Amino acid sequence: MTSVPHPPPIVVTMGDPAGIGPEIVVAATMERPSLLGQLVVAGDVATLERAARSVAAARGQAAPQVVEVSGPDAPQARGAVLRVWQACERHPTVAWAGVQSLAGCVAGQCIRRGALAVLDGQASALVTAPVHKEALALAGIEWPGHTEMLQALAAEHRGCAVEDVPVRMMLSEPRLKVVLVSTHISLRDAIAAVTVERVLQTLVITDRHFRHFGAGRPRIAVAGLNPHAGEGGLFGREEIEVIAPAVEQARAQGLDAQGPFPPDTVFMRARQGAFDVVIAMYHDQGLIAVKLLGLEHGVNTTLGLPFVRTSPDHGTAFDLAGTGRASPLSLMAAIEAAAEAARGPA
């Protein structure tokens, strides 16, 4: 009988080793053992072994055995084991909790190797556990977060400029999807980033993503920047001079884009089903709305990359690190979203 080849695995980076990332990776496989055959963890073997002990002790259950593999395309290990690819330099185990340059260095190495594995076709998707941006900065990593780092790695792999790989962050939970015009920059810089070109590009990237994954022509709502969407210019003219022209240009290209709408009500309307996705003008405008609905099932997806990348919708939670009690539900939702996207449209 001819054996059926296994599909490429999903690579999960362990995140900041001082945070809850390694533990939620272990906990996710304990909650759903079927994940063990789908995943390879890009991380540090000793850190994952410590996480397995922590989660097992907190739950009073046996944790999966951690087995080191040579890479994502290594032969499938036998039995219910957690496959860990040593994707960083071996080092003394990082202490739980706290911002540490070594932790940022380790996390950065795992992200880089995990992303390159997907770009080289050794894996079907990338799921990233939480990192701490200050730890990355202490380690000398120039990018402020996953989104920017993955964009740069994709451009490096293609041999093109970073701006030739435009990306956007989409945060979603079962009732609401939000795409951001800008990500990890100051509020002052975020306001300056609200340009006709950038808003239009965000609309096009969003529409392309939904269509590519079989969701059809999405109904896109665009939030205003100012209170009451500027109230006809009384509270600011960005809606009149920037956002509305971008929406008009998008509609001329065949997109179902509407707005700008007052930002204090548009997310509620989308949650009630009036729209499929909302374009938010800056980070906190959109993410407060999503996170208020609940972190446990939130997923971060990077739109515009040449590969599938998702992550949980929360941070490193140093206060829970080492307790084994951190919830893996958002990571599980991210893995499920990555697997669905990697399969492509139905």
Mean pLDDT per 10-residue run, the chain (346 residues)? 63 97 97 93 97 96 93 80 95 90 96 96 96 96 91 95 95 94 94 98 96 87 96 95 98 98 97 97 95 85 96 94 96 94 76
Query: What class, spelled out in words, does domain 1-164+306-346 have in CATH?
Result: alpha beta
What is the pLDDT at residue 2?
38
At position 265, the amino acid (one-letter code) is T
The ranges assigned to domains in the chain are 1-164+306-346, 166-304
Amino acid sitting at position 266: V
pLDDT at residue 5, as a whole number: 53
The CATH number of the structural domain formed by 166-304 is 3.40.718.10
Q: Strands, E, within 174-249: which ranges? A: 176-180, 219-223
Q: Do domains 1-164+306-346 and 166-304 have the same CATH topology?
A: yes
Note the pLDDT of residue 345: 66
Q: In what order do the strands lie in the sheet with 39-43?
A: 65-69, 81-86, 39-43, 10-13, 125-128, 309-312, 299-303, 168-173, 176-180, 277-280, 219-223, 256-261
Look at residue 122 in the predicted model and tell me its pLDDT: 95
Phi, psi of 103 (to 5 degrees): -65, -40
Do the beta carbons of residue 298 and residue 329 sit within 8 Å?
A: no
